[in-house]
A and B are shown apart, each in its own frame.
Chain A
Amino acid sequence: MRQKSKWLLLLLLLLVVGLVGCNTNEKITTSTTPDNEEKSKTEEVSLTIGSWRTEDVAKYEKVIALFNAQHPEIHVSFNPTKNTEYNTVLNTALQAGEGPDIFHLRPYAAGLKLAEAGYVEKINSLNGLNVFPEEALQASRDDQGNQYGVPINLSSTQFFYNKKIFKDNNLEIPTTWDEFIALNDQLLEKGITPIAMGTKEGWLLSLLHGIVGPAVYEGNDFYQAVLAGEKDFTDPKFIESIQVMNDLKKYFPVNSEGLGMDDIRTLFALEDAAMFPLGSWEIPVVLEMNPDLDLGYFPIPSKESNTTVTTWVDGSFAINANSKNKEAAKVFLEFLTTKEFGDLFVKEFSMISAIPGITSDDALLNAISHSTANEATPYMWVTNFTGGDPTTKSLLESELQGMYLGQVTPEEVATKVQENAKTWFTPFQK
């Protein structure tokens, strides 16, 4: 018996030593596989694309068909992963030196973290990048000015409203902040839920603050001052923006603390609420639930009567640094900068193309697209505050949730956000 356990122990030890030995050979840095396979133009190449847009498979097939009309020698397959699992799946694959040739890069800090780890190919000299405005390229550009991704679409958040409810109650789109509040009060008096919003899912709260905040602290001025380190989140205007978030709660549906994205979308789509502060990507979803919904939007008017919609780049396409088909991948990325792609994109995806000047037949989308070009303010939490551990954005979300549950005050929310940002946001460390 004793001998048996000795043997077992020895075997176990050997196994462990062997495995640990394997482990030391593993490197988690960029592999520098030399591109020894010279590919002639006519040789057929296969590319895979990774993405979080499982809902867009059919649409990407059309994109690929258009691409193949020009480049029949490059076979492309679009293999998306569920949105909430995409980061994990992609990270794990990249870590193992694998992953798709081309992948959908999360915007700003999250995507740049992958670039920093050496998983993303630099595309500084890619043809066609010059069509994009600076702000769009910044979503996938590091501090040294290296470009990693081709921006695909802009997202924009604003108040959607039910035109029919507005018309039936003789209500107009607000042009000042006071009108906006008066509008909410009028709806409330008539027994209509003014704003379809729930506080159960944190990301909805940072999103709402992204829309409403700029109206309180005069979006772009405050944003520039924050970037320059002249103002921070202890600024009274910022605290007021959090307070305003709290004040809006009375316009939310009953039991708003238990409502998530699906609930509020249903409320708005079934015409049980008048306004819906959300992103441009919701247009096709809401209209699918209720094709008869007369949908409109308005940019939020600020206290000084400026109007803003909140925009950011939602995704870029990048090349895997470990891909064996980098040249073919570059050809595909160049295609993504062309007007042909842009036209197809707005038509098929009902989203706002990152390529300027692309219009679609959809009047609502065109109008929003026009707003993003003329009265945009950046969605600060996404564009600049996804750094830190936990990220400043997710901390804001939790603290706002705490505020809605009455566990923290608006001042405390601002203080905590400031404390978190100060640990990593360089302009605040001056």
Chain B
Amino acid sequence: MIREYTAPSVRRRKSRVRWTIHLFPIPALIIYGLFVLYPILAALSYSFFEWKGMARGDFIGFQNFVTLFTTEPYGSMFWNAFKHNVLYFVVQMIVMNGLAFFLAFIIYQKIKGAEFFKAAFFLPRLLSVIVVGFLWKLILNPNFGTLNVILEKLGLETLQKAWLGDPNTALIAIILVNCWFGLGFGVLIFLAGFQGIPSELVEAAKLDGAKGFTLLRTIYLPLMVPSIMIMGILTFIQSFEAFELVYAMQGSMGEPYYSTDTLAVFFYRLAFGSSTASGATAIGLGSALATVLFLFILVCTTLFLRFTNKKNVQM
């Protein structure tokens, strides 16, 4: 590269410009600090205090964290909810992202009505989660819900269930509703990924005789790794923050019998009191849980990103 000659005065002005340029992020940083950093730090600080209802008591160090993990019923509630979050993640990764990948691949093949399908898959995403929860609650209602009525019409009465009342099916039902809800977003991300693959590569591979599954495995899949990783991270964060749909469909107690409890619902119950049980709150414990959850997501996401970056370099 040829370096241009610049006069000293110009250089000085440039450096002043460089200096003042750092002031421009301040408004954004203030907003970020006020609405993101401050609440996080506040929650962190709350978790080190004793709380009597809404009034802050003495500084008690890590006592809230110790209580959260060692005192019953909090300890078992935490791990119970944690397991549900893991299941949430696994099922969403396999069912939602798997299906989204598959559908995106089909749409990418330039089938007829691709635009229509893209919009159709994305449509549920435009509904509010509360509406989604309400609709599916109706569909899954044991005595007059559509699902059980269809099963009856098909002569499959034996399969009828109180889907949301049976602890064996309630959580998985909610996760699948969430998959239905989030499918369109995955399709869009994957479709963008497919469309970003240089067509020369695909053509070259085809000329070499690759087709069908081989083409998918050797060309598409490796080049789709960035998209898959992005969806993985987003799904991970969303799974561990899962709250709205559970709350909309089962309330804040993770009913029935904690079988749909997630960490965020557990947090809500601790910090704000359950909506039905007269609103007793444990802000210290709630803040401790929020801190643990935040650190867990932060650490996992960072590791995940590290891993992805390395992968990208390899490519």
Interface residues of A (CB under 8 A from B): 4, 7-8, 11-12, 15-16, 19-20, 23, 28-29, 83-85, 87-88, 91, 94-95, 106, 108-110, 113-114, 116-119, 198-203, 253-259, 263, 382, 386-391, 393-395, 397-398, 401-402, 405, 407
Contact = CB atoms under 8 A, between A and B. Distances in A.
A118 B164 CA distance: 41
A95 B54 CA distance: 7
Nearest to A408: B257
Interface of B: 22, 25-26, 29-30, 33-34, 37-38, 41-42, 45, 52-56, 73, 140-143, 160-167, 251, 253, 255-258, 269, 272-282, 285
B253 A114 contact: no
A118 B255 contact: no
Contact of B41 (A16, A94, A198, A393): A16
B249 to A, nearest CB: 10
Given A88-B273, A390-B277, 18 more contacts: A4-B22, A7-B22, A87-B272, A91-B279, A95-B54, A108-B278, A117-B55, A119-B54, A199-B165, A200-B165, A255-B160, A255-B165, A258-B141, A258-B143, A258-B162, A382-B278, A389-B282, A405-B167
A106 B37 contact: no
Most buried by B among A7, A88, A116, A398: A398
A117 B54 contact: yes
Contact of B272 (A12, A88, A110, A202): A88
Contacts of B276: 84, 201-203, 394, 397
Contacts of A387: 280
B273 A87 contact: yes
Contacts of B278: 106, 108-110, 382, 386, 391, 393-394
Contacts of A407: 167, 257
A391 B165 CA distance: 23
For the complex of A and B, 8 pairs with smallest distance between CB atoms? A258-B162, A258-B165, A394-B277, A255-B142, A87-B279, A257-B165, A258-B142, A113-B53
A401 B52 contact: no
A106 B279 contact: yes
Contacts of B164: 200, 258
B257 A398 contact: yes
Contact of B257 (A106, A198, A402): A402
A383 B168 CA distance: 34
Contact of B281 (A91, A255, A382): A91
A232 B54 CA distance: 30
A12 B258 contact: no
A85 B268 CA distance: 12
B257 A114 contact: no
A23 B256 contact: no
Nearest to A22: B38
Given A28-B54, A117-B54, A389 B285 contact: yes
A390 B143 contact: no
A257 B166 contact: yes
Given A16-B33, A253-B143, A84 B275 contact: yes
A314 to B, nearest CB: 11
Contacts of A202: 253, 255, 276-277
A201 B250 CA distance: 8
Nearest to B165: A258
B143 to A, nearest CB: 6
Contact of A263 (B25, B45, B143, B275): B143
Given A257-B162, A391-B278, A200 B273 contact: no
A394 B253 contact: yes
Contacts of A29: 55
Contacts of B160: 255
Contacts of A119: 54
Contacts of A16: 33, 37, 41
Contact of A19 (B41, B55, B163, B253): B41
A200 B256 contact: yes
A405 B55 contact: no
Contact of B280 (A12, A201, A253, A391): A391
A27 to B, nearest CB: 9
16 contacts: A11-B25, A110-B279, A116-B52, A117-B53, A117-B54, A201-B255, A255-B143, A256-B165, A258-B163, A387-B280, A390-B277, A391-B277, A394-B276, A397-B277, A398-B258, A401-B256
A201 B251 contact: yes
Contacts of B29: 11-12, 15
A200 B161 CA distance: 13
Nearest to B42: A23
Contacts of A401: 255-257
A28 B162 contact: no
A259 B162 contact: yes
Contacts of A12: 29, 33, 37
Most buried by A among B26, B55, B164: B55
Contacts of B165: 198-200, 255-259
B291 to A, nearest CB: 16
Nearest to B282: A389
B136 to A, nearest CB: 13
A16 B280 CA distance: 32
B54 A386 contact: no
Nearest to A254: B143
B255 A394 contact: no
A419 to B, nearest CB: 8
